[in-house]
Structure 1
Protein backbone atom coordinates (compact mmCIF):
# COMPACT_ATOMS: atom_id res chain seq x y z
CA UNK A 1 0.00 0.00 0.00
CA UNK A 2 2.82 2.40 0.88
CA UNK A 3 4.64 1.53 -2.33
CA UNK A 4 1.50 2.16 -4.39
CA UNK A 5 0.96 5.53 -2.71
CA UNK A 6 4.61 6.48 -3.27
CA UNK A 7 4.28 5.57 -6.95
CA UNK A 8 1.08 7.61 -7.15
CA UNK A 9 2.78 10.66 -5.61
CA UNK A 10 5.71 10.31 -8.03
CA UNK A 11 3.25 10.14 -10.96
CA UNK A 12 1.42 13.25 -9.71
CA UNK A 13 4.73 15.14 -9.47
CA UNK A 14 5.75 13.98 -12.96
CA UNK A 15 2.44 15.03 -14.53
CA UNK A 16 2.42 18.32 -12.64
CA UNK A 17 5.93 19.08 -13.90
CA UNK A 18 5.02 18.24 -17.50
CA UNK A 19 1.82 20.32 -17.16
CA UNK A 20 3.75 23.34 -15.88
CA UNK A 21 6.43 23.00 -18.57
CA UNK A 22 3.78 22.94 -21.29
CA UNK A 23 1.91 25.90 -19.83
CA UNK A 24 5.15 27.89 -19.50
CA UNK A 25 6.18 26.97 -23.04
CA UNK A 26 2.84 28.24 -24.30
CA UNK A 27 3.40 31.58 -22.55
CA UNK A 28 6.98 31.79 -23.81
CA UNK A 29 5.84 31.11 -27.36
CA UNK A 30 3.32 33.94 -27.11
CA UNK A 31 5.95 36.33 -25.74
CA UNK A 32 8.41 35.30 -28.46
CA UNK A 33 5.79 36.00 -31.12
CA UNK A 34 5.30 39.46 -29.60
CA UNK A 35 9.01 40.16 -30.10
CA UNK A 36 10.44 39.45 -26.66
CA UNK A 37 13.82 37.71 -26.77
CA UNK A 38 13.45 34.26 -25.21
CA UNK A 39 16.42 31.97 -24.73
CA UNK A 40 16.94 28.74 -22.81
CA UNK A 41 17.93 30.46 -19.57
CA UNK A 42 14.78 32.63 -19.63
CA UNK A 43 12.67 29.55 -20.33
CA UNK A 44 14.24 27.47 -17.55
CA UNK A 45 13.94 30.37 -15.11
CA UNK A 46 10.26 30.76 -16.03
CA UNK A 47 9.65 27.03 -15.59
CA UNK A 48 11.23 27.11 -12.13
CA UNK A 49 9.21 30.17 -11.19
CA UNK A 50 6.00 28.60 -12.49
CA UNK A 51 6.62 25.33 -10.63
CA UNK A 52 6.62 27.36 -7.42
CA UNK A 53 4.01 29.90 -8.48
CA UNK A 54 1.40 27.45 -9.73
CA UNK A 55 1.68 25.44 -6.53
CA UNK A 56 2.18 27.99 -3.77
CA UNK A 57 1.41 31.53 -4.94
CA UNK A 58 -1.52 31.37 -7.32
CA UNK A 59 -5.12 32.45 -7.03
CA UNK A 60 -6.22 29.02 -8.21
CA UNK A 61 -5.88 25.87 -6.14
CA UNK A 62 -2.34 24.48 -6.34
CA UNK A 63 -1.98 22.53 -9.56
CA UNK A 64 -0.40 19.61 -7.73
CA UNK A 65 -3.53 19.34 -5.56
CA UNK A 66 -5.82 19.54 -8.61
CA UNK A 67 -3.86 16.81 -10.40
CA UNK A 68 -3.74 14.72 -7.19
CA UNK A 69 -7.54 14.81 -6.93
CA UNK A 70 -8.14 14.23 -10.66
CA UNK A 71 -5.80 11.26 -10.89
CA UNK A 72 -6.89 9.93 -7.50
CA UNK A 73 -10.50 9.75 -8.66
CA UNK A 74 -9.55 8.37 -12.09
CA UNK A 75 -7.28 5.66 -10.68
CA UNK A 76 -9.76 4.73 -7.94
CA UNK A 77 -12.52 4.25 -10.52
CA UNK A 78 -10.10 2.25 -12.68
CA UNK A 79 -9.24 0.08 -9.67
CA UNK A 80 -12.93 -0.60 -8.99
CA UNK A 81 -13.58 -1.49 -12.63
CA UNK A 82 -10.50 -3.72 -12.83
CA UNK A 83 -11.82 -5.73 -9.88
CA UNK A 84 -14.80 -6.73 -12.07
CA UNK A 85 -13.19 -7.20 -15.47
CA UNK A 86 -9.90 -8.62 -16.66
CA UNK A 87 -7.77 -6.17 -18.62
CA UNK A 88 -4.11 -5.26 -18.59
CA UNK A 89 -3.62 -2.75 -15.80
CA UNK A 90 -1.10 -0.58 -17.60
CA UNK A 91 -3.45 0.13 -20.51
CA UNK A 92 -6.54 0.66 -18.40
CA UNK A 93 -4.75 3.02 -16.02
CA UNK A 94 -3.35 4.88 -19.05
CA UNK A 95 -6.92 5.30 -20.28
CA UNK A 96 -8.02 6.42 -16.81
CA UNK A 97 -5.20 8.97 -16.54
CA UNK A 98 -5.93 10.34 -20.00
CA UNK A 99 -9.65 10.53 -19.23
CA UNK A 100 -9.00 12.35 -15.98
CA UNK A 101 -6.71 14.95 -17.51
CA UNK A 102 -9.01 15.46 -20.51
CA UNK A 103 -11.88 15.99 -18.09
CA UNK A 104 -9.78 18.55 -16.21
CA UNK A 105 -8.92 20.63 -19.27
CA UNK A 106 -12.42 20.48 -20.74
CA UNK A 107 -14.51 20.99 -17.60
CA UNK A 108 -12.32 23.43 -15.67
CA UNK A 109 -13.32 26.42 -17.84
CA UNK A 110 -16.99 25.59 -17.30
CA UNK A 111 -16.43 25.70 -13.55
CA UNK A 112 -14.65 29.06 -13.74
CA UNK A 113 -17.12 31.15 -15.77
CA UNK A 114 -15.65 30.05 -19.13
CA UNK A 115 -12.18 31.36 -18.33
CA UNK A 116 -9.31 29.23 -19.55
CA UNK A 117 -7.05 29.44 -16.52
CA UNK A 118 -4.21 27.36 -17.89
CA UNK A 119 -2.81 28.80 -21.10
CA UNK A 120 -1.34 25.45 -22.04
CA UNK A 121 -4.85 24.07 -22.52
CA UNK A 122 -6.12 26.75 -24.91
CA UNK A 123 -5.53 24.87 -28.15
CA UNK A 124 -6.45 21.35 -29.18
CA UNK A 125 -2.74 20.58 -29.33
CA UNK A 126 -2.35 21.73 -25.72
CA UNK A 127 -5.35 19.71 -24.60
CA UNK A 128 -3.93 16.71 -26.45
CA UNK A 129 -0.54 17.12 -24.78
CA UNK A 130 -2.07 17.35 -21.31
CA UNK A 131 -4.26 14.32 -22.05
CA UNK A 132 -1.16 12.42 -23.23
CA UNK A 133 0.66 13.27 -19.99
CA UNK A 134 -2.26 11.73 -18.10
CA UNK A 135 -2.00 8.62 -20.26
CA UNK A 136 1.75 8.44 -19.64
CA UNK A 137 1.25 8.77 -15.91
CA UNK A 138 -1.45 6.11 -15.87
CA UNK A 139 0.69 3.76 -17.95
CA UNK A 140 3.65 4.14 -15.60
CA UNK A 141 1.35 3.73 -12.59
CA UNK A 142 -0.16 0.55 -14.05
CA UNK A 143 3.27 -0.87 -14.87
CA UNK A 144 4.46 -0.43 -11.30
CA UNK A 145 1.47 -1.95 -9.54
CA UNK A 146 1.90 -5.34 -7.92
CA UNK A 147 0.51 -8.26 -9.92
CA UNK A 148 -2.20 -9.04 -7.35
CA UNK A 149 -4.20 -6.12 -5.93
Structure 2
Protein backbone atom coordinates (compact mmCIF):
# COMPACT_ATOMS: atom_id res chain seq x y z
CA UNK A 1 0.00 0.00 0.00
CA UNK A 2 1.16 3.54 -0.72
CA UNK A 3 -0.08 7.00 0.18
CA UNK A 4 0.20 9.68 -2.47
CA UNK A 5 -0.47 13.39 -2.27
CA UNK A 6 -1.40 14.70 -5.68
CA UNK A 7 -2.29 18.38 -5.80
CA UNK A 8 -5.25 18.86 -3.46
CA UNK A 9 -6.04 15.12 -3.24
CA UNK A 10 -4.83 12.38 -0.91
CA UNK A 11 -4.79 8.92 -2.49
CA UNK A 12 -4.42 5.45 -1.06
CA UNK A 13 -2.88 3.18 -3.70
CA UNK A 14 -2.76 -0.60 -3.82
CA UNK A 15 0.42 -2.56 -4.55
CA UNK A 16 -0.45 -2.56 -8.25
CA UNK A 17 -0.88 1.25 -8.31
CA UNK A 18 -4.68 1.08 -8.39
CA UNK A 19 -6.39 3.92 -6.50
CA UNK A 20 -8.18 2.29 -3.55
CA UNK A 21 -9.50 5.47 -1.98
CA UNK A 22 -9.20 9.20 -2.49
CA UNK A 23 -10.12 12.25 -0.46
CA UNK A 24 -9.43 15.97 -0.53
CA UNK A 25 -6.30 16.92 1.40
CA UNK A 26 -6.71 19.12 4.43
CA UNK A 27 -4.77 22.32 4.90
CA UNK A 28 -3.95 22.71 8.56
CA UNK A 29 -2.02 25.69 9.73
CA UNK A 30 0.52 25.19 12.51
CA UNK A 31 -0.20 27.62 15.36
CA UNK A 32 2.38 30.25 16.15
CA UNK A 33 3.29 29.25 19.70
CA UNK A 34 5.17 32.50 20.27
CA UNK A 35 1.77 34.19 20.43
CA UNK A 36 1.09 32.35 23.69
CA UNK A 37 3.79 34.44 25.33
CA UNK A 38 3.47 37.70 23.43
CA UNK A 39 -0.27 37.94 24.18
CA UNK A 40 0.16 37.51 27.93
CA UNK A 41 -0.53 40.59 30.07
CA UNK A 42 2.43 42.50 31.55
CA UNK A 43 3.96 40.98 34.67
CA UNK A 44 3.19 42.52 38.05
CA UNK A 45 6.21 40.98 39.74
CA UNK A 46 9.42 39.20 38.79
CA UNK A 47 11.05 36.78 41.22
CA UNK A 48 14.46 35.13 41.05
CA UNK A 49 15.71 32.00 42.79
CA UNK A 50 18.85 29.87 42.80
CA UNK A 51 18.08 27.09 40.31
CA UNK A 52 19.62 24.19 42.29
CA UNK A 53 17.86 25.13 45.54
CA UNK A 54 14.56 25.62 43.72
CA UNK A 55 14.87 22.27 41.94
CA UNK A 56 15.67 20.46 45.20
CA UNK A 57 12.69 22.04 46.96
CA UNK A 58 10.27 21.22 44.14
CA UNK A 59 11.41 17.61 43.79
CA UNK A 60 11.80 16.95 47.51
CA UNK A 61 9.21 15.56 49.91
CA UNK A 62 8.62 19.00 51.46
CA UNK A 63 6.87 20.23 48.29
CA UNK A 64 3.95 17.86 49.01
CA UNK A 65 2.63 18.21 45.45
CA UNK A 66 2.48 21.99 45.43
CA UNK A 67 4.62 25.05 45.96
CA UNK A 68 3.72 28.69 46.49
CA UNK A 69 5.60 31.73 45.22
CA UNK A 70 5.22 34.47 47.83
CA UNK A 71 6.18 37.95 46.63
CA UNK A 72 5.60 39.57 50.03
CA UNK A 73 8.40 37.51 51.60
CA UNK A 74 10.42 36.91 48.41
CA UNK A 75 10.38 33.13 48.75
CA UNK A 76 9.11 29.85 47.37
CA UNK A 77 7.36 27.72 49.96
CA UNK A 78 6.98 23.96 49.65
CA UNK A 79 5.37 22.22 52.62
CA UNK A 80 7.25 23.37 55.72
CA UNK A 81 10.38 24.49 53.83
CA UNK A 82 11.15 27.64 51.89
CA UNK A 83 13.99 29.13 49.89
CA UNK A 84 14.70 32.85 49.72
CA UNK A 85 14.99 34.78 46.50
CA UNK A 86 14.48 38.31 45.26
CA UNK A 87 11.36 40.06 44.01
CA UNK A 88 10.86 43.21 41.93
CA UNK A 89 7.36 44.59 41.47
CA UNK A 90 6.01 46.83 38.75
CA UNK A 91 5.33 50.45 39.63
CA UNK A 92 1.75 50.85 40.74
CA UNK A 93 1.17 47.09 41.02
CA UNK A 94 -1.52 45.92 43.41
CA UNK A 95 -0.57 44.15 46.65
CA UNK A 96 1.69 41.14 47.04
CA UNK A 97 1.01 37.84 45.29
CA UNK A 98 0.97 34.28 46.61
CA UNK A 99 0.65 31.95 43.65
CA UNK A 100 0.32 28.21 44.15
CA UNK A 101 1.59 25.78 41.54
CA UNK A 102 1.92 22.04 41.13
CA UNK A 103 5.48 21.33 42.12
CA UNK A 104 5.98 18.73 39.37
CA UNK A 105 4.94 21.19 36.63
CA UNK A 106 7.14 23.97 37.96
CA UNK A 107 10.02 21.49 38.45
CA UNK A 108 9.74 20.41 34.80
CA UNK A 109 10.06 24.02 33.65
CA UNK A 110 12.95 24.71 36.05
CA UNK A 111 14.82 21.57 34.93
CA UNK A 112 15.19 22.78 31.33
CA UNK A 113 16.42 26.22 32.32
CA UNK A 114 20.19 26.56 32.24
CA UNK A 115 22.29 28.64 34.58
CA UNK A 116 22.49 29.41 38.28
CA UNK A 117 19.28 31.45 38.47
CA UNK A 118 15.64 30.99 37.51
CA UNK A 119 13.51 34.06 36.82
CA UNK A 120 9.74 33.80 37.27
CA UNK A 121 7.29 36.40 35.92
CA UNK A 122 3.98 36.69 37.77
CA UNK A 123 0.73 38.42 36.82
CA UNK A 124 -1.99 37.01 39.08
CA UNK A 125 -3.42 33.76 40.44
CA UNK A 126 -5.13 32.82 37.16
CA UNK A 127 -2.55 33.78 34.52
CA UNK A 128 0.28 31.45 33.44
CA UNK A 129 3.58 31.99 35.23
CA UNK A 130 6.58 32.67 32.95
CA UNK A 131 9.68 30.68 33.84
CA UNK A 132 13.03 31.31 32.16
CA UNK A 133 16.76 31.60 32.63
CA UNK A 134 18.71 34.80 31.97
CA UNK A 135 21.13 32.63 29.96
CA UNK A 136 18.40 31.50 27.54
CA UNK A 137 16.74 34.66 26.30
CA UNK A 138 14.72 32.85 23.61
CA UNK A 139 13.26 30.15 25.89
CA UNK A 140 10.26 30.78 28.14
CA UNK A 141 8.05 28.18 29.81
CA UNK A 142 4.45 28.90 30.76
CA UNK A 143 3.10 27.07 33.82
CA UNK A 144 -0.51 27.34 34.96
CA UNK A 145 -1.04 28.17 38.63
CA UNK A 146 -3.35 26.19 40.92
CA UNK A 147 -6.45 27.68 42.42
CA UNK A 148 -5.95 28.56 46.08
Question: Highest CA radius of gyration, 1 or 2?
Answer: 2
The two structures share one fold, judged by TM-score above 0.5 = no
- TM-score w.r.t. the length of structure 2 is 0.25
Q: Which has the higher contact order (CA 8 A, sep 6+)?
A: 1
More strand by share: 2
